[in-house]
Amino acid sequence: MRLKKMDVEQMPERFAYLFWNADLSSLDLERDARYIASRLLMADDVAAWGWAVQHLPADALASVAKLRHASPRRAALARNLAAAAGVS
């Protein structure tokens, strides 16, 4: 079951370190979904991946697979999470 989207300000504080060079209060979950997805999915943090699947659109998750710096394993993870997020 997909949870309703949250404001970035409601993102768990434990993920703030992933956005060390960004002002979290200026991020918009819809507008910046791809950026947020890239930070969450490129981290080695399973909880971040779970939060991303629950709160970000599937296309934002899938976009991580196309990043130049995404390893083949991380790209596969992004595609799998995007598929899981697309399930209602």
- Percent over 70 (pLDDT), the chain: 88
Each domain of the chain, given as residue ranges in start order, spans 8-85
Average pLDDT of every residue of the chain: 88
pTM, two decimals, is 0.86
- 61, 74, 63, 51: which is closest to 2 by C-alpha? 51
Average of pLDDT values for 46-72?
95
CA distances from 35 to 1, 16, 63, 88 (A): 24, 14, 9, 23
